Chain A
């Protein structure tokens, strides 16, 4: 019995360990797959005409003639939408109608003044003009549809009058007819509500199509274009077709979200058909096309990262990492050389090793504190440089952070050079220094390179040390090392917790973190390949 129990345990145990490994692989996939999928949509996605317009305006990409032709074609369909909304709005916006009646009145008066008619006729026509206008205004103001109809009838009495045929005053009658039509369709009492609703519809259309042709260009980049991606356009379509309300299902309970058709709000009015029209023709408004937006990696982003790419962030990360490598690689290699070649086993060396180990254990945020307190607030002012965040401060902080890694991997690389090389060189009469430079170092170089790449990937991913010393969320591409910069790591943080705008563009969020992870993983993969290559070289001797 005992034997079977033991073997059961044994199998269970083995199974557990396999399970553990499977779990780890699963976790890795669970973390990476959503990021890759959603991040990839920042680069490969269906773009719309708005995107092409944006690319042309911002980066001069695309053919202006083709673009213009496309715009014309798309506007054919869009203009119907605009017209229907405009008509409806005119019908319900009584304040505007009121003003319009006034306008017509004044225009007609001007016409009369120019016309060549006898004075008495002039005066009587003017009086009639005023009467018509007052009737019309009464119609617009009337709360009761019957009163409105009465006033409209009074207006229409003059429609056959010779004095108004062929003049501006005909618009009075058009307006009256239009309004009569509206009266039959909508409830005057809920006019104000219709106005509010149609303004919401206009807002959604603006988000879809961008600013109306003919309107002044908005000053903020974000509002100059409509939906630039097909998935954004889809979202707007959903907002257009459906309304969300939070309603009470049970008293004393949280409200529940209900979805209703927006078209129902306009039931019975001429706007009702708009919704069907939009739904059927939605693709024709945008001309979506699948695209490979590789320029994502070099383009700058607009404010709030609503449009654009991560070019400056990549540049910032590269600058920070390269600068810190310049400092840390020589330091690390020289320290490793000393520890391997010259150091004995005395107190000094033990202290140095303890120092390196302690350095490796310091939390990254404390590095940030140190970088701020030492470099920015002490050293730079003492040297006469500015105490603002800068690439220099950030990269110096990062280089101290990664020093232990560099020293350790360089040490290993130098140690792994076979003693035979060194002995042969010494036997040939070279000094120790010469031996090191001409024999040991070149042999250890691949290993050192591997360590350097590993350090680079670590540095590229660090955020806490650059929080106070170098990173900035919005700023131009740095022109000198004394300026702060954007970076992939800080940008990822900023996008994950930040802006309201960031939540509107999840593809940008995920795109940024995808770029960071890809960069780091590529570097790691490179170092793994290098290491395998070295391993093979050492074996195949």
Chain B
């Protein structure tokens, strides 16, 4: 019995060593970062996989902050972020000999959404700020029914959180009652399932299961975001280390938004394309 076991173990080891030996001989493209930009990256990755079947594409959506960190550490070729890099991140990048180049792949608007059963249709920026700061706690204070407000926010390292906080909160802090979720889909799910909820998601995540409100009278739409009328409009970035070599897969990937197919995919993911086909 012992001999059998030894033989089996050796076989397993050989198989695994064979695995280890077959190291990255194929080309790799690693993309990591924001969950907001994620759907665009996913759609492009799918197309690229059919264009280059041997290409090893990995898309991870661990958040804007980590995407940038992954780029700086060299763990990713493309770092997606729904916010621009912070000065501290830039400094760290330069210190590690990484020269970040920003590519704007789409425009996004951070939309404040409510449960569809909520009759409230518009809120002012100030009201939203006070809701998130905990000063308004019941819907009847803003013209809605008598329901307590369940405040949902993205976690504090997300780019979406950053944009929302800069545009709405200013220097105010969010109250402790705010529930943090880790991604756009989670925020969407929380608002969709909770009657008294208010949350914010990227415009690509709007559908008929949540209700966007007008902010200061402006509804989120392609036009209002593209022209900047919508108060929380922002660019979606993909960062690379230096400008990618022309003709390389990385270059083709981050400039895919310039092609018609890329434009289509950006639009179908729900974003406002920067190109005009």
Binding site for B on A (CB under 8 A): 219-221, 246, 248, 252-257, 302-304, 319, 322-323, 326, 386-389, 441-442, 445, 472-476, 478-484, 497-500, 502-503
Check B12–A500 contact: CB distance below 8 A.
no
Which residues of A have CB within 8 Å of B101? none
Q: Is B155 an interface residue (CB 8 A)?
A: no
Check A254–B20 contact: CB distance below 8 A.
no
Check B5–A254 contact: CB distance below 8 A.
no
* Contact A500 B118, CB 8 Å, known A473-B60, A475-B58: no
Q: Complex formed: what's the CA distance from A182 to B54 in Å?
A: 55
Select the stretch in B38-46, B102-110, B241-249 that faces chain A. B38-46
Interface size on B, residues (CB 8 A): 53
Check A304–B42 contact: CB distance below 8 A.
yes
Which of A220, A252, A257, A497 is B117 in contact with, Cβ under 8 Å? A257
Which residues of A have CB within 8 Å of B147? 254
Check B46–A221 contact: CB distance below 8 A.
yes
Check B264–A483 contact: CB distance below 8 A.
no
Check B61–A255 contact: CB distance below 8 A.
no
Q: Is B221 an interface residue (CB 8 A)?
A: no
Which residues of B have CB within 8 Å of A502? 185
**A369 to nearest B CB, angstroms?**
15
Check A252–B140 contact: CB distance below 8 A.
yes
* Contact A474 B188, CB 8 Å, known A254-B118, A387-B73, A482-B23: no
Q: Complex formed: what's the CA distance from A526 to B82 in Å?
A: 48
Q: Complex formed: what's the CA distance from A49 to B258 in Å?
A: 37
What are 10 A-B pairs at a CB distance below 8 A? Answer: A219-B265, A246-B116, A254-B145, A322-B12, A326-B9, A326-B12, A326-B16, A445-B2, A474-B60, A503-B189
**A144 to nearest B CB, angstroms?**
31
Which residues of A have CB within 8 Å of B186? 497-498
* Contact A387 B46, CB 8 Å, known A474-B60, A498-B183: no
Binding site for A on B (CB under 8 A): 1-2, 5, 9, 12-13, 16, 19-24, 26, 30, 42-43, 45-47, 56-61, 73-75, 116-119, 140, 144-147, 181-183, 185-186, 188-189, 195, 205, 207, 211, 261, 264-265, 268
Among all A-B residue pairs, the 4 with the closest Cβ atoms:
A475-B58, A254-B117, A388-B75, A480-B23
Check B185–A303 contact: CB distance below 8 A.
no
* Contact A480 B24, CB 8 Å, known A219-B47, A442-B2: yes
* Contact A474 B265, CB 8 Å, known A254-B119, A254-B147, A497-B182: no
Which of A253, A323, A482, A484 is B16 in contact with, Cβ under 8 Å? A323
**A453 to nearest B CB, angstroms?**
13
Kindly report which residue of chain A lies nearest to residue B43, judged by CB atoms: A220
Q: Complex formed: what's the CA distance from A305 to B140 in Å?
A: 41
A-B contact count (CB 8 A): 117
Q: Complex formed: what's the CA distance from A441 to B3 in Å?
A: 12
Kindly report which residue of chain A lies nearest to residue B186, judged by CB atoms: A497
Q: Complex formed: what's the CA distance from A219 to B42 in Å?
A: 12
Further contacts, 4 of them, CB under 8 A, given A497-B189, A498-B183: A387-B73, A389-B75, A441-B2, A483-B56
Kindly report which residue of chain B lies nearest to residue A449, judged by CB atoms: B5
Q: Complex formed: what's the CA distance from A302 to B2 in Å?
A: 43
Check B16–A255 contact: CB distance below 8 A.
no
Check A303–B60 contact: CB distance below 8 A.
no
Kindly report which residue of chain A lies nearest to residue B189, judged by CB atoms: A503
Check B20–A480 contact: CB distance below 8 A.
yes
Check B45–A255 contact: CB distance below 8 A.
no
Check A255–B5 contact: CB distance below 8 A.
no
Kindly report which residue of chain B lies nearest to residue A223, judged by CB atoms: B268
Q: Complex formed: what's the CA distance from A326 to B10 in Å?
A: 10
* Contact A480 B58, CB 8 Å, known A253-B145, A326-B16, A500-B185: no
Which of B5, B46, B182, B188 is A445 in contact with, Cβ under 8 Å? B5
Check B2–A472 contact: CB distance below 8 A.
no
Check A483–B75 contact: CB distance below 8 A.
no
Kindly report which residue of chain B lies nearest to residue A442, judged by CB atoms: B2
Which residues of A have CB within 8 Å of B5? 445
Q: Complex formed: what's the CA distance from A221 to B12 in Å?
A: 36
Check B22–A479 contact: CB distance below 8 A.
yes
Check B58–A472 contact: CB distance below 8 A.
yes
Check A220–B46 contact: CB distance below 8 A.
yes
Check B26–A255 contact: CB distance below 8 A.
no
Q: Complex formed: what's the CA distance from A116 to B9 in Å?
A: 90
Check A246–B61 contact: CB distance below 8 A.
no
* Contact A445 B1, CB 8 Å, known A252-B140, A474-B58, A500-B205: yes
